[in-house]
Amino acid sequence: MSGDVRLSSDTKLIGINIAGVDGFHYATEGKTYVSDIESTVFYDSDEYENTAGRLSVPHLSVPVKNEGGSVVGVMMFQIDVSVLNSVMQERRYGDSYDAYIINQHGRMITETNSADRLNHTGHPRRKTNTELTVVEPQTRQSTRSVVACLNGENGLDVSGYMNYTGGKVVGVWYWIPELKWGVIAEINADEVLLAMNKVKGSIFEVLSYLTITGVILALAGIAFALIIGQKIAHPILELTAATRKMSAGDLSQRVKMHTRDEIRELADAFNVMAESVQEKTNTLQETSNFLKSILVGSTEHSIIAADLGGNILAFNEGAKRMFGYEAEHLISKSGIEILFTKADVASGQVHTMLETTRVAGRYKEEMQLVRKNGEVFTGYGTVTTRQTTRGEPNGFVMIIRDITEQKLLEQELQSYMMQLEKIAEERTQKLRVSEEKYRRLFETSKDVVFFCDTECQFIDINQAGVDLFGYDSKNEILKLNLVQHLFFSPGEGKAIKEMVSRNGFIKDYEVELKKKEGTRVPCLMTTNLRRDERNNIVGYEGIILDLTERKKIEREKDIMNNINKILASNLDIREVYKSFGEELNKVIDFDRMSITLLDEKRDEFLIFAVSKDYYDSKLEEGMHYSKYGTLAGKVVENGEVHVVTDTSQGRFSTDPILFKEGIKSRLSFPLICKGEIIGSLNFGSKNVRNYSENHVEIIQKIAPQLAIAIDNTCLFDKIKDSEEKYRNLVEDIEDVIFRLDRKGRYLFLNSALKNVTGYAPREFYDNPSIAMEMIHKHDGDFVSETTRKVLSGELKVSKDLEYRITCKNGSELWVSQNTYPIKDKKGTIIGIEGIMRDITNSKKIEEQIKRSERLASIGELAASIAHEIRNPLGAISNSVGMLKRDLSLRGDDQKLFEMVIEETDRLNSIITNFLTFAHPAEYHFVRSDILEIIDETLFLLEQDARFHNEIRIVKMYADDIPEVSVDRNWIRKVFWNLLVNSIDAMPRGGKIFIRVGKPKESGNHEIEIAIADTGSGIPPEIIRKIFEPFFTTKKSKGTGLGLSIVHRIVDNHGGVIDVRSEQNKGTTFTIRLPVKNKLIKTVSV
């Protein structure tokens, strides 16, 4: 522990060091310490500059321990002693009454009331403490009361004794062992004697008064000591106990003080500090967890934890990237030896590393490491021990960074340094061989060569030095001191001088010197001592290399790297154009920069982007202008760089425009991508002749990547446009397009969902279970199973999956669904996507086709049967007719005979229906008023015996019903059959509704006729069979061919018929007929 203050109730004290305080050392040893009254350790931060004269104070020091019991910190409290002074002045007994407190060394620690009487004693004339030792002035021995207190005695003396002022006093004292303080109260004996002289009485009265005085004084002293104990000792002990609990880890400790003095303020400060410690402890824990997550998951360095045997226990993401291993393949399965070369493992170097770390606690060294693919690389590793809470090592933590590139740079730098060293050695050798050669080399060298005396006063310097530092002549610079005048920081010059004096030389030391006008010059200095023939030091000599150009190149290199990073950071260069311009402006001085691109016809420019420091301009971003006669046009025409040194004399059409805007010189550079010139990069400056070859070289380095970035931006724009078109197509399509993740959450739904199902996409996003709830109960299982197989990969794709759904409005639809898996880059299935199409109408048409096929086959069978039955039935009918003519029957015989005749006629009618159903018939389509045909049918119906007064016809005809092409006879038969069925369904009467109109979705191409009744309805289980031949619900009558014939007639008109029914509420037949139907069909009815 360093002793630096980390937390304080006065934040300005944070950072001071208290390691030299006795209480700090006691606390670091695990002991609680209460100091004497002593000079303050903590001062009021507002009085930092003036602490003299402040009262001394007691300090309380308590150790802070961790869970293992080890001391990890110290808490110290300072109590303002002014509270003691206030207590001491609360009560007085007589004019000469004096009360004070001494410490265990017999020194007074509170203010005294006898300051005015201290002059003759030699004590300081001040009411402060600790400087006054309580002794008799004549003997310099401790007073009677002090001796008794230091012996731990409580008592009084009414006979009188000498006090620290040399006066005789009567006193009482009380020792407080917890604080090692003594409380003393004294009254001048003369004051007591004077009171006695005033007593008019016998000696017994005098003695009685003296006794009473002593008792009062003793009681006052004891009461005073108790007050001191209550007001000082008890609060301090309570504060000490709370501090011990807090240091043991109980951060919830708070101290409650009911006094109104400084100890109360100290307790309040303790409570504030305790809350702060608790808050910062929680914050520290959160920070620790946060840093742990960063180190484990996000660092670019490898972080590997191992046990004492070297077995890998943790392997972070950085380690995975560096070595190529997956963490699960190494953790608890391999040792760290797998990461080192076999040679280092075999030689025991890895074992030595671990042992060194175990002993020293830390190991740092370069290491030869091996990746999973066998590649050997150099890393710099730091190995530390992991410790238990008791401080015992239980493993290692390795932090490794790959320094392969660093080593290559070091080798390159070393090579360069070796070259410089070689040059220096060659120059030195040449100087020794020939003075003439030395002088010629000295004078012609481009590097600065200098000689100084021992005080760094120049003796000689070559012309390169004069030129570098900007002086007019060598004589001018020879008057200067190298350290004082040429170092930008003279302190650095002195340090280098001492380094050379100590080591004999410095080599390639980078320093900052300054020119005559005071500007900085970065230099590389090699200097050594000059010695005479007797090896005495006579001065310094050296070589100085100007690093200005190298620094400039390095700076330009950094800027180029930053520009390349900026260009690569975004697909749309317009998003980073400002940052690109700001970075480029560091190496190229410009006031305007723009990018112009050729349009598709390559005869106009688009100002793609502009950066300028002024507002008004006629050439703004987004504008188009002709390329002919312009600087940019010249550049893209021949692919060469062009410079306009003075726009006032420029020959291009854009020169006068930019000159009015303050641009006086220009530079334009071609942008080439994939071998084709796509535009130009243009610069403008408010200075004449601002651009040079150096600027062209810089632009050459960034132009290729800029052209690629612009091309990418254009491609990105096309992709965005394509994506927008695709999105519009997806949103406009009538089929439902969807995407789900593996958890069944919808990622995308187009607007067709609402048109098909009635549900908005947001309802599916919020409650994905709707999708399964709307599937028909008999179809849900195989839909779920199919989805599962696609997600598991058992099915590569699911096509034409047909099932039923219930829409939001309760209607039922048939849908067909194609489902495809969604895969990530690794080929893992992460969800599904697909298309769902409403096939309800297709299903109806399909059902009608199947029904027509069945009718055709049944019709052929019915025709053959009818023909076979009709012949014998004709003979029976003729015979019955002859018998009726010739026989005279009565009674039951006559009834039986009539029954035979009726049944024969009925059978003949059935056969006629069979033949009608089976035989081909010719249709004659004519333009007809459908309402007229319906009304004619209704008129005939009202004449039928089955029609009665309880039946009511309700007609609902729309306006502007177009004429339709129908066969009037056949279509009338359709209406007749449907109306008769409605009457049969309502034996007790009811309503028949006839609605005629045009469907909304068909425009004027179809009409719709609906015939509805309020009868008993058709049961759901048989409604699908009603159009099948010979199916009937009329047990005693009917052939079951009526609705089959109706279906056939409607079908041959190119129309469709549908039925909806609800039991006990009625049935509705809906017929749709095309308006135009000019074909004359010969079909089987």
Position 110 scores a pLDDT of 80
203 pLDDT band, cuts 50/70/90, is: very low
Helix axes 203-228, 189-197, angle to 10 degrees: 140
Class (C level, CATH) for 919-1084: alpha beta
Residue % of the chain over a pLDDT of 70: 79
Amino acid at 962: P
828 pLDDT band, cuts 50/70/90, is: very high
Sheet-wide strand order for 505-514: 458-461, 448-453, 537-546, 520-531, 505-514
232: nearest Cα among 190, 180, 188: 180
998: nearest Cα among 1050, 1072, 931, 1060: 1072
The fold of 553-715 is Beta-Lactamase (3.30.450)
Record the tokens describing residue 101, joined without a space. Answer: 């407190």
Amino acid at 113: N
Class (C level, CATH) for 445-546: alpha beta
The fold of 725-836 is Beta-Lactamase (3.30.450)
Position 49 scores a pLDDT of 41
CATH 3.30.565.10 residue ranges of the chain are: 919-1084
Residue 928, judged by CB atoms within 10 A of its CB (0-12, 13-18, 19+), counts as: middle
- CB-based contact 975:1014 (threshold 8 Å): no
Distance CA 1046, CA 393 (A): 96
pLDDT in tens, 577-614: 788 888 888 888 888 999 999 887 778 888 888 888 77
696: nearest Cα among 732, 718, 666, 735: 666
pLDDT in tens, 378-435: 999 999 998 876 778 889 999 999 988 888 888 888 888 888 888 878 877 766 665 6
Q: Superfamily for 82-243? A: PAS domain (3.30.450.20)
Q: What are the CA-CA distances from residue 165 to residues 134, 156, 158, 422, 515 (Å)?
A: 9, 19, 18, 86, 74
13 pLDDT band, cuts 50/70/90, is: confident
Give the mean pLDDT of 1031-1036: 67
Sign of CA dihedral 38, 44, 50, 55: negative
Position 576 scores a pLDDT of 78
Distance CA 133, CA 150 (A): 13
Which H or E run contains 876? helix 840-886
Distance CA 145, CA 142 (A): 8
Distance CA 993, CA 1068 (A): 9
Distance CA 1016, CA 987 (A): 10
Distance CA 546, CA 523 (A): 5
Distance CA 15, CA 32 (A): 23
Sheet-wide strand order for 181-188: 98-102, 181-188, 168-176, 155-162
Residue 732, judged by CB atoms within 10 A of its CB (0-12, 13-18, 19+), counts as: exposed
Give the mean pLDDT of 912-925: 69
Scored b (16 or more CB within 10 A) or e, 1045-1057 reads bbbbbbbbbbbbb
Number of Cα atoms under 13 Å in the Cβ half of residue 1041:
18
Distance CA 271, CA 255 (A): 6
Amino acid at 961: I
Q: What are the CA-CA distances from residue 689 to residues 647, 656, 695, 999 (Å)?
A: 10, 16, 12, 80
Q: What are the CA-CA distances from residue 784 to residues 587, 745, 857 (Å)?
A: 65, 14, 39
Record the tokens describing residue 971, joined without a space. Answer: 């279509």
Give the mean pLDDT of 297-314: 84
Distance CA 605, CA 453 (A): 68
Residue % of the chain over a pLDDT of 90: 34
Give the mean pLDDT of 314-325: 91
DSSP string, 580-614: HHHHHTTTS--SEEEEEEE-TTSSEEEEEEEEES-
Position 586 scores a pLDDT of 86
Position 335 scores a pLDDT of 93
Give the mean pLDDT of 1018-1041: 75
The single residue listed with the structure tokens 């012949």 is 871
Record the tokens describing residue 619, joined without a space. Answer: 């050439």
- Does the structure show a pLDDT above 80 at 6? no
Q: Which residue has the higher pLDDT, 743 or 621?
A: 743
Distance CA 446, CA 545 (A): 8
Q: Which residue has the higher pLDDT, 284 or 13?
A: 13
Give the mean pLDDT of 197-207: 42
Distance CA 103, CA 181 (A): 5
Distance CA 649, CA 669 (A): 20
User: Which range is least confidently modeled, 139-153, 904-918, 961-975?
Assistant: 904-918
∠ CA 507-513-516, nearest 5°, is 145
Helix, strand, coil: what percent of the chain each, to 5?
Answer: 45, 25, 30
Per mean pLDDT, which of 524-533, 878-887, 1017-1026 is the most reliable?
524-533
Per mean pLDDT, which of 13-17, 410-414, 486-490, 848-852 is the most reliable?
486-490
The fold of 299-402 is Beta-Lactamase (3.30.450)
Q: What is the 3-state secondary structure (H, E, C) of 627-676?
A: CCCCHHHHHHHHCCCEEECCHHHCCCCCHHHHHHCCCCEEEEEEEEECCE
Q: What is the 3-state secondary structure (H, E, C) of 458-470?
A: EEEECHHHHHHHC
Give the mean pLDDT of 1060-1071: 92
Position 1073 scores a pLDDT of 93
Give the mean pLDDT of 669-685: 90
197 pLDDT band, cuts 50/70/90, is: low
pLDDT in tens, 43-56: 544 444 444 445 56
CATH 3.30.450.40 residue ranges of the chain are: 553-715
3-state DSSP call for residue 183? strand
Scored b (16 or more CB within 10 A) or e, 542-581 reads bbbbbbeeeeeeeebeebbebbbebbeebeebbebbebbb
Mean residue pLDDT across the chain = 81
Q: Which residue has the higher pLDDT, 349 or 94?
A: 349
CATH 3.30.450.20 residue ranges of the chain are: 82-243, 299-402, 445-546, 725-836
pLDDT in tens, 322-351: 999 998 999 989 999 999 999 999 999 999
Position 1080 scores a pLDDT of 46
pLDDT in tens, 168-192: 898 888 888 867 888 888 888 887 7
Position 47 scores a pLDDT of 44
